[in-house]
Amino acid sequence: MDNQLYLSSSPHIHSGETTERIMRLVIYALLPAILLSLIFFGLPALSVLLICTLGCIGFEALACRLMKLPNSIKDGSGALTGILLALNLPASTPWWISLLGAAIAILIGKMIYGGLGYNPFNPALVARVVLLISFPVQMTRWTAPTPLTSGIDAVSAATPLGEMKTAVMLTGKLPEMATSGFLNYFSGNIAGCLGEVSALALLAGGLFLIYKKVISWHIPVSFIGSTLAISAIFWLIDPSKYPNPLFHLITGGLVLGAFFMATDMVTSPVTHKGMLIFGFGCGLLTILIRLFGGYPEGVSFAILLMNAATPLIDRYCRPKIYGQVEQQA
């Protein structure tokens, strides 16, 4: 029976693209930001990173075992979720919060839906938001960057967005740091989550991903573009009350969210048109939450809300089948 003719349906040529390769490339793209966060925040950042990543891998293995699924930790998605979660936490996060976050991300954010590919929401963001709502004190105890060499354990500080919100609420005016001199935040001198530390490093990683064709430009461009455009409108209306669009761009988690979280293939629309709508919605919600909402930062909420809208967007952006004649009404 050796010379039997094997028949299979198309496609016959495979691009070699696998889940493992994509996850590996995304992790590579995050390396500059990870390195910078380690330099700026030192050992606490390392422990948060390790606990989240190892925790996610561990919980995924456990869940696969309990659910009698083939072990999926090798595809790297669990590890990536862990890294993204760590980048969304402050460096001073206690170990048990990091571990709980890993459990929520993997068990409630992903495996309960059936594993990778079935989750409607970005697992890392689910965990971040659950932790943020559950433990507001610990999750907003930000530390200013304290390099390993300085000899100080930690200096607490407000995030630029938090400082802005407090000042606007108390005085109705922007604080000075939001109107001038905020450009040095770009390279990474900023209090916040591990992954908020340097817009520059994240941007480099994001461009690498677009170059490697792991993500397309549509979501980041429309997300960041709409954030800039909408904040520019407010800024032009009253520059003493609403900050410069550039301030919105380089503070908070916008760059991390736009390149690494919103572009998650499982939870974002499939078509390019849908991606543009998705990105616009994220940008609009981010600005609305930042300027008028109760929380200083809105990127994670915005992405989760748009995740929920993804099936709807996909439905309305269904491409026309080639050769199909439009039905006469």
Partner 1 sequence: MSLKKIFTRGLWKENAVFKLLLGLCPVLAVTTNAENGLGMGLATTFVLLCSNGVVALMRNIIPSGVRIPAFIIIIATFVTIVQLVMEAWTYELYQALGIFIPLIVCNCLILGRAEAFASKRPVFSSLVDAIGMGSGFTLALFVLGAIREIFGSGELFGVTLFGAGYQPMLLMILPPGAFISMGLLLALMNKFENR
Q: Which residues bind partner 1 (CB under 8 A)?
A: 96, 108, 112, 130, 133-136, 138
Give the residue with the Cβ less far from partner 1, 130 or 270.
130
CA separation for the pair 245, 236 (Å, rounded): 10
The label of the residue with tokens 């559950």 reads 134
Give the residue with the Cβ less far from partner 1, 133 or 148.
133
Asked if 76 contacts 18 with a C-beta cutoff of 8 angstroms, the reply is: no
Give the residue with the Cβ less far from partner 1, 217 or 295.
295
Nearest residue to 298 (alpha-carbon basis) of 286, 280, 309, 306: 286
CA separation for the pair 138, 231 (Å, rounded): 29
**3-state percent breakdown (helix, strand, coil) of the chain, nearest 5:** 60, 0, 35
DSSP tag of 257: I
Give the residue with the Cβ less far from partner 1, 99 or 199.
99
Give the residue with the Cβ less far from partner 1, 135 or 217.
135
User: What does 76-107 look like in DSSP terms, one character per residue?
Assistant: SHHHHHHHHHHHTSBTT--HHHHHHHHHIIII
Give the residue with the Cβ less far from partner 1, 96 or 316.
96
- The least distance separating partner 1 from the CB of residue 73, rounded to whole angstroms, comes to 23
Q: Which token pair is 22? A: 């994509």
**Angle 224-225-228 (CA atoms, 0-180°, nearest 5)?**
85
- The least distance separating partner 1 from the CB of residue 101, rounded to whole angstroms, comes to 12
Strands 143-144, 155-156: pairing kind: antiparallel
Instruction: Show Cβ contacts of residue 31 under 8 Å, excluding neighbours closer than 6 positions.
Output: 205
Nearest residue to 278 (alpha-carbon basis) of 320, 316, 313, 322: 313
The label of the residue with tokens 């919605």 reads 281
Give the residue with the Cβ less far from partner 1, 105 or 287.
105
- The least distance separating partner 1 from the CB of residue 109, rounded to whole angstroms, comes to 11
Q: How many Cβ atoms sit within 10 Å of the Cβ of residue 273?
A: 15
Give the residue with the Cβ less far from partner 1, 163 or 297.
297
- The least distance separating partner 1 from the CB of residue 97, rounded to whole angstroms, comes to 8
Q: Which token pair is 241? A: 């009350």
Counting beta carbons within 10 angstroms of the beta carbon of residue 231, is it exposed (0 to 12), middle (13 to 18) or buried (19 or more)? buried
